[in-house]
């Protein structure tokens, strides 16, 4: 059985799974969760990136976690929305379970290229460095709370959690899916921040070229987390896509 504390769920109808990124949290999806749950059953699992066994902190290991989660809830037909690392996991899950995924939405997804912590060892004790790195993820850094930055700082200063984060970040860079994206057949929506510094706009164009049945939408004045920075525009775009 899955503990209720391991995920949140709301609404009725077709099932949509929301997958957060490397330093993501359930709160990242707050606006999307509220919007979609009016017409869909929306589920957000907590991906235990910093808590599972170090050997499983890679893209395949996290995909297996999500797969087991979906199987335990006995979900048959789902749509997936994934941000950053969550998009990468969503891609891998779709490749492994093509008949289960009806629609796929990716925003700032890794899987082709990502400029993240995996490229260098983080300066764990340097609060200002971590603050700068986190701010680099957003076009308007004012939307980030000090509490969130403190949580990232705390995570990176815990030896085990920091190793898990690095393992996953480096795995995301190694697991390049360019040769497999043509296998994805379900309708796919790509929503990208026009000012994304982590997975720049050219990465979105590459995804669009490699996934046959895909549509690309850009949001201006927006970086790596469009659902947080421009929630109204983001919700309008995904709402239209999901209705089709």
Please report which confidence band the pLDDT of residue 3 belongs to, taking 50, 70 and 90 as the band edges. Answer: very low
Per-residue model confidence (pLDDT) at position 222 = 96
Beta pairing class for 7-10 and 41-45? antiparallel
Per-residue model confidence (pLDDT) at position 86: 96
Please give the Cα distance from 86 to 230 (Å, whole number): 18
Model confidence at 63: pLDDT above 90: yes
> How high is the pLDDT of residue 122?
54
**Both structure tokens of 157:** 């200063």
155: enclosing H helix or E strand: helix 146-156
How much is the pLDDT for 102? 98
DSSP class per residue in 194-215: TT-SSS-HHHHHHHHHHSTTEE
Strands (E), the chain: 7-10, 15-19, 41-45, 78-83, 101-107, 188-193, 214-219
Phi/psi at 165 (5° precision) = -60, -45
Closest by CA position to 217, among listed 231, 229, 232, 233: 233
Contact by Cβ (8 Å): 14, 41: yes
Q: Which helix (H) or strand (E) covers residue 148, if one does? A: helix 146-156
Pair of tokens at residue 183: 């296998």
pLDDT at 218 over 80: yes
To the nearest whole number, what is the mean pLDDT of the chain?
89
pLDDT digits (tens, 9 = 90+) for 154-196: 877 788 888 888 888 888 889 999 999 999 999 999 999 999 9
Residue 147 sits at φ, ψ, to 5 deg, of -60, -40
Between residues 3 and 105, the one the model is more confident about: 105
Give the domains, in start order, of the chain with CATH numbers: 4-243 (3.40.50.1820)
Confidence (pLDDT) at 117? 52
Which of 5-14, 67-76, 165-174 has the highest average model confidence (pLDDT)?
67-76
Q: pTM of the predicted model, to two decimals?
A: 0.91
pLDDT band at residue 2 using 50, 70 and 90 as cut-offs: very low
The pLDDT tens digits of the residues spanning 127-162 come to: 777 777 777 788 887 787 788 788 887 877 788 888
* Structure token pair of residue 146: 């000090």
């Amino acid at each position: 059985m899955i503990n209720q504390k391991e995920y949140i769920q709301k609404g009725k109808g077709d099932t949509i799974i929301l997958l957060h990124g490397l330093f993501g949290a359930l709160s990242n999806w707050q606006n999307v969760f509220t919007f979609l749950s009016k017409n869909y059953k929306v589920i957000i699992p907590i991906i235990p990136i910093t808590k599972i066994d170090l050997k499983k902190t890679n893209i395949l290991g996290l995909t297996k976690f999500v797969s087991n989660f979906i199987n335990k809830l006995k979900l048959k037909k789902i749509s997936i929305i994934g941000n950053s690392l969550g998009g990468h996991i969503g891609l891998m899950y779709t490749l492994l379970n093509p008949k289960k995924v009806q629609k796929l939405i990716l925003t700032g997804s890794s899987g082709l290229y990502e400029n993240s912590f995996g490229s260098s060892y983080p300066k764990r004790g340097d609060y200002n460095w971590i603050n700068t790195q986190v701010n680099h993820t957003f076009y308007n850094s004012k939307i980030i709370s000090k509490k969130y930055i403190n949580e990232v700082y705390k995570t990176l200063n815990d030896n085990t959690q920091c190793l898990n984060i690095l393992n996953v970040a480096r795995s995301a860079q190694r697991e390049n899916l360019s040769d497999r994206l043509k296998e994805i057949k379900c309708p796919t929506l790509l929503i990208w921040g026009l000012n994304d510094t982590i997975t720049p706009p050219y990465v979105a164009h590459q995804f669009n070229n490699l996934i046959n049945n895909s549509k690309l939408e850009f949001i201006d004045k927006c970086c790596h987390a469009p659902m947080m920075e421009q929630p109204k525009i983001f919700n309008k775009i995904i709402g239209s896509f999901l209705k089709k």
